[in-house]
Chain A
Amino acid sequence: MSAIKLQGARTLFYKEVLRFWKVSFQTVAAPVLTAVLYLLIFGHVLEDHVKVYDAVGYTSFLIPGLVMMSVLQNSFANSSSSLIQSKITGNLVFLLVTPLSHWAWFMAYVGASVVRGLAVGTGVFLVTVWFAPPSFAEPWWILVFAALGAGMLGALGLIAGLWAEKFDQMAAFQNFIIMPMTFLSGVFYSIKSLPPFWQGISHLNPFFYMIDGFRRGFFGISDVSPWISLAIVGTAFVVVSAIALELLRKGYKIRG
C-alpha cells in the first residue's frame, strides 16, 4: 500500500477513534458501568450458590465473561453505529468521494472498533478487579481472543452498518442477533451446566469459543481446548471479514 493510501486509511482510523472518544461517557464509561452492575447483581446473588470450576469463585468466573461481553458488544457498536449514522445523515458522501480502497475502509473501521472494544474491556477489568483478585494463568490467550473477538465483531458491525437502512433495522440486528449470541455464549455460566440440546446449540455459537478461550487465559481451565476455540474464532473472523470486504468492494447499499 502506497504512502498516500496508508495516510488515507490512517486518517479514517484516527477519525473513527476520535469520534467515539469525543463521546466517551456514552461509548466507554456507560458500558463499564453496565458491566459493573451485572457483576454486582449476579455476583452478589449467585456467589454462594453457583460453583462452575472447583478452584474459582463465581464472581471471579463472571469477570472475564463480562469483560469479553463488553469487548464484543462495543466493537460491534462502534463500526455499525458510525456507518449507519453517516448513511442516514448523509455525511458518508465525504468518504465516498475519496480514493480510499475497500481495504482502507475495512482496516480503519475494524481497527477503531478493536480500539473501542479493548478500551471498554480494559475499563471493565480495572473496575471489576476490585471485586475479586485476578489471575493470569495463560495470558497470551487473553490477548489473542480479545483482539480476534473485537476484530470479528468490528467486521460484523461493518456488515450490519452497510445492510441497515434505518436505526430500527440496526436495533433489530443488535437485539435479535448480537445480544442473544452474547448472552447464550457462557458469559454467566459454563455451558456444561446446560441440558445436552442447548449444549449442542451453544457449540454452534462462535461467541462461546471467544469467551471460553478468553476465560482460559485467566484460569487455565476451559470447556473446550483453546486451540479448537482459536481455529473456530479465527475461521469466523476470516469469513466475516471476507464478507465485509466484498460488500465494501461492491459498494453495497452505499453506491448506487
Chain B
Amino acid sequence: MSPPRSGPPAISFQNVSKTYRGGAVRALDGVSFDIQPGEFFGLLGPNGAGKTSLISILAGLSQASGGSVKVMGHDVVGDYAAARRALGIVPQELVFDPFFNVREALEIQSGYFGVKGNGAWIDELLENLGLADKAKANMRQLSGGMKRRVLVAQALVHRPPVIVLDEPTAGVDVELRQTLWAFIARLNREGHTVLLTTHYLEEAEALCHRIAMLKLGRVVALDRTSDLLSGRASTMLRFKTDAALPPALREHSRVTGRIVQIKAHDAAEVEAMLATLRAAQVPVEDLEIGRADLEDVFLEIMNGAEQGVGA
C-alpha cells in the first residue's frame, strides 16, 4: 500500500551532516530522504551508522553541522517549537524521573506541550499500554519493561502526528512487544507517521512500508520493504550441521551457531551447493529452501553492495 501524500513530508532530511571533534569524526554525511505522512518508516544500520545522531538532530537534542531537517514542514532549528510539538520521541535509554508516579509523569509531560485536561487520553494510553494498574506507582517501583511502556506513553501524551521510536523493544519481553506493536500499528492506521529504528529486523520487515539503511553516516539503501526483499538474492538455503563446511561454500555462508544460511540465485545453484555438501560428506539437518529475509538483505547491503537511493 502506498502511503498517502499530501502537504509537506512528515519528516524531511536534506543533506544532513554531523561532525564531532572539529570535523575529525563524521557521523552523518549528506543524508537526504523524506518520510511521507502516514508512513511506517524503518531506519536501519549497524551500531555507529549514524541512526542516533540523525534522531538526535530531529528531536533537537543536537544540532546538525550542515543541511536541514523539517517536521511537518517546520524547521527543527528555525521553527523548533512547532517542529517539536509535532514530534513524539521514545528515547533509546531507559530513563525516568524518580520523583513522580506514572500519572504525574504523563500529566507533566503533557503540560510541557501546553496540553492540559487530557485525562481521557492519558487513561486510554495507560489502558492500551497495560499501565492502568500502575498509574499511582512511583517510577522507581516499575520493572524495566513497565518503564519502557511509560516512555512510549510520554511520547504520545500530547498526540503528536509523528512518532519516533528509537529501539523501543530493546531488552523487553514478548508481551510488551506485541502490546506495543498492536498499539503503534493502530496509531499508524489512524494516520500517525512512525519512524522506527531497531536492530530487530523481523519487526522492521513486518511493520515498515519503506526502509532506509545507513552505513558510516550515509544512506546506502532506501526503498519499499517489498522491493528491498525482491530486488536482492531471493533464495536462501538453510540447514543445521556440526561439521565444517567445504571451502567453496564457507566464504559465501552465514553461520549462526549450528545454523548455516547460504544465498542462492536459482535452483541450479541450490543443486550445485547440495552436491558440494554431499561430496564433502557434510551431514545436514532441517534442510530448507526459503525466501531471503530482511536480515539477509541487510547483511548483503552492509557488506558493501550499495544500491541507488532516492527519496
Do chains A and B interact in one complex?
Answer: yes
Binding site for B on A (CB under 8 A): 3-8, 10-12, 14-15, 18-19, 22-23, 86, 89-91, 93-101, 251, 255-256
A19 touches B111 (CB 8 A): no
B111 touches A14 (CB 8 A): yes
What are 17 contact pairs spanning A and B, CB under 8 A?
A4-B114, A5-B81, A7-B116, A8-B111, A8-B114, A12-B112, A15-B111, A23-B99, A89-B95, A93-B61, A94-B97, A94-B109, A97-B84, A97-B89, A99-B81, A256-B62, A256-B63
A94 touches B154 (CB 8 A): yes
B95 touches A96 (CB 8 A): no
* Chain B residues, Cβ within 8 Å of A10: 111
Q: Is B96 an interface residue (CB 8 A)?
A: yes
Provide the bound-state CA to CA distance between A11 and B96, in Å.
Answer: 17
Query: Which one of B89, B108, B116 has the highest number of Cβ atoms from chain A below 10 Å of its Cβ?
Result: B108
Provide the bound-state CA to CA distance between A256 and B95, in Å.
Answer: 18
* Chain A residues, Cβ within 8 Å of B224: none
Provide the bound-state CA to CA distance between A176 and B43, in Å.
Answer: 48
Q: Is B181 an interface residue (CB 8 A)?
A: no
Provide the bound-state CA to CA distance between A3 and B60, in Å.
Answer: 22
- Specify which of A3, A18, A91 is in contact with B114 (CB 8 Å cutoff): A3
Count how many chain B residues have C-beta atoms less than 8 Å from C-beta atoms of the other chain.
Answer: 31
- Specify which of A12, A90, A256 is in contact with B93 (CB 8 Å cutoff): A90
Binding site for A on B (CB under 8 A): 56, 59-63, 80-82, 84-85, 87, 89, 91, 93, 95-100, 104, 108-109, 111-116, 154
Other A-B contacts than A11-B116, A18-B104, A19-B99, 6 sampled, CB-CB below 8 A, are A7-B115, A15-B111, A93-B89, A96-B60, A256-B61, A256-B62
A97 touches B59 (CB 8 A): yes
A11 touches B95 (CB 8 A): no
* Chain A residues, Cβ within 8 Å of B108: 11, 14-15
* Chain B residues, Cβ within 8 Å of A97: 59-61, 84, 87, 89
* Chain A residues, Cβ within 8 Å of B115: 7
* Chain A residues, Cβ within 8 Å of B56: 256
Provide the bound-state CA to CA distance between A14 and B116, in Å.
Answer: 13
Provide the bound-state CA to CA distance between A18 and B132, in Å.
Answer: 23
* Chain B residues, Cβ within 8 Å of A100: 112
Query: Which one of B63, B82, B97 has the highest number of Cβ atoms from chain A below 10 Å of its Cβ?
Result: B97
* Chain A residues, Cβ within 8 Å of B116: 7, 11
B97 touches A91 (CB 8 A): yes
* Chain B residues, Cβ within 8 Å of A98: 84, 109, 112-113
Query: Given that A8-B112, A97-B60, A99-B84 are known contacts, is A22 also in contact with B95, CB under 8 Å in the complex?
Result: no
B152 → chain A closest CB, angstroms: 13
B99 touches A22 (CB 8 A): yes
* Chain B residues, Cβ within 8 Å of A94: 95, 97, 109, 112, 154
B99 touches A99 (CB 8 A): no
B111 touches A93 (CB 8 A): no
B129 → chain A closest CB, angstroms: 17
B137 → chain A closest CB, angstroms: 15
